[in-house]
Amino acid sequence: MNLIFKNATIIDKNSKFNNQAVDIKVENGVITKIAKDIAEEANFEVIQLDNLHISRGWFDSSVSLGEPGYEDRETIKNGLNVAARSGFTNIALQPNANPIADTQADISFLLSKGHNAATSLHPIGALTKNSEGLDIAELFDMQNAGAVAFGDYNKDLPDANLLKIALQYAQDFDGLVITFCQDSKIKGKGVVHEGFVSTRLGLKGIPALAEELQVARNLYLLEYTGGKMHIPTVSTGKSVQLIREAKAKGLNVTCSVAVHHLVLTDDTLVNFDTRYKVAPPLRPENERKALLEGVLDGTIDMITSDHNPLDIELKKMEFDMAKNGTIGLETAFGALANILPVDIIVEKLTAGKSIFKIEDHGMEEGATASFTLFTTEGNHTFTKADILSKSKNSAFLGQQLKGKAYGVYHNGKLIINE
């Protein structure tokens, strides 16, 4: 496929064409020319889109789908199509299907299902067998099969010694250990952030301490063992400060924040709408601002949609009983564009590739063509008609979004929203 992208503004701080409107010529999957004006040629398709912006491809470090076992929530084929149309060239797939991805065979299966798609799938292997927190899974074998990291999705690891052993063992093959931080004992039966809103609504609260204690404990373990640790979806200012201090010590720790924690607060819970029930829970405005500060000062390395499709039977029930999770791929860019500059958004949606050791390609002549197409203009209200996922559990329904992803060019395939 030979293409010429016309009048595209490149957003890539490492490119000499950063913030310049140029034409981009792609031949056989390689960027062969970037210039102010490239003449149209026979056998080249010309791509012209309003307010076209192009950056190196976006990466989402936490995506759940469903297949195998929960295809009613989402299939891998449709999930990758959603990711491509949402601007993501690469996603890290959580191991929380059925069965849990905790063996070499499971990783190979997931890779085979994602083969030849426009968005590349990178499986995360479970850290413990069946994500039960009792025994370390086959980490080395899974990494050899293609796993990019190891973690038990949205589950803490109560056994500190098991995490210590995992961190020590993973160093032998430069493995990345993901540690979701929420002390299950302190969380108890809590379902929302413990504070004014939980008291007002009469819902059991989860103290911020439940996250912060686990962050502190896990960082102490990392300091003792060495190795690499990634803390996903941090949600409190104290957690950010603990990670900031750990980085200052030289610890090899990275972290992410979910889009919904940067944009929404627990005030949205006033109508007991279970679309806003997520883990960790939505926090008050002061915590949201602390997370934004962590993004801007570089403490928070990346932003994730934490995309988690769930069918209506798991969401449309009493708040206490509903399952945690929201879809987020479709709304990630549009929601972030309301609160962050475009260069910061691109940086935080691409930085994770180096952390997860995923091949990255810049916006320069001679580079493999792998990029995201988007616009920064236009405001619209997100509705059910905009949802591409099989499940409709979006916390952003009715929200005003700014700009949108047009699609991607990746793996030699061009996907553009109609």
> Catalytic residue positions?
306
Packing angle between helix 76-85 and helix 104-113, nearest 10 degrees?
A: 60
Are residues 80 and 410 in contact, defined by beta-carbon separation less than 8 angstroms?
A: no
**Which residue is it, tokens 């034409």?**
23
Kind of pairing, strands 228-231 and 176-178?
Answer: parallel
CA distances from 270 to 196, 258, 392 (A): 11, 21, 20
Phi, psi angles (nearest 5°) of residue 128: -120, 155
Residues composing the chain: 418
Beta strands in 149-211 (DSSP E): 149-150, 176-178, 192-193, 205-206
Helix H or strand E segment including 243: helix 237-248
Closest C-alpha among 294, 320, 132 to residue 215: 294
Are residues 371 and 56 in contact, defined by beta-carbon separation less than 8 angstroms?
A: yes
CB atoms within 10 A of CB 248: 9
User: Residue 161 burial (CB < 10 Å; 0-12/13-18/19+)?
Assistant: exposed
CA distances from 66 to 77, 163, 222, 307 (A): 11, 27, 31, 11
User: Which residues 6+ apart lie within 8 Å of 277 measured at CB?
Assistant: 191, 192, 315, 319, 322, 323, 324, 325
The CA-CA-CA angle for residues 56, 60, 61, to 5°, reads: 125
**Which residue is it, tokens 């039977």?**
313
Kind of pairing, strands 58-63 and 88-93?
Answer: parallel
User: Which residues 6+ apart lie within 8 Å of 338 measured at CB?
Assistant: 263, 400, 401, 402
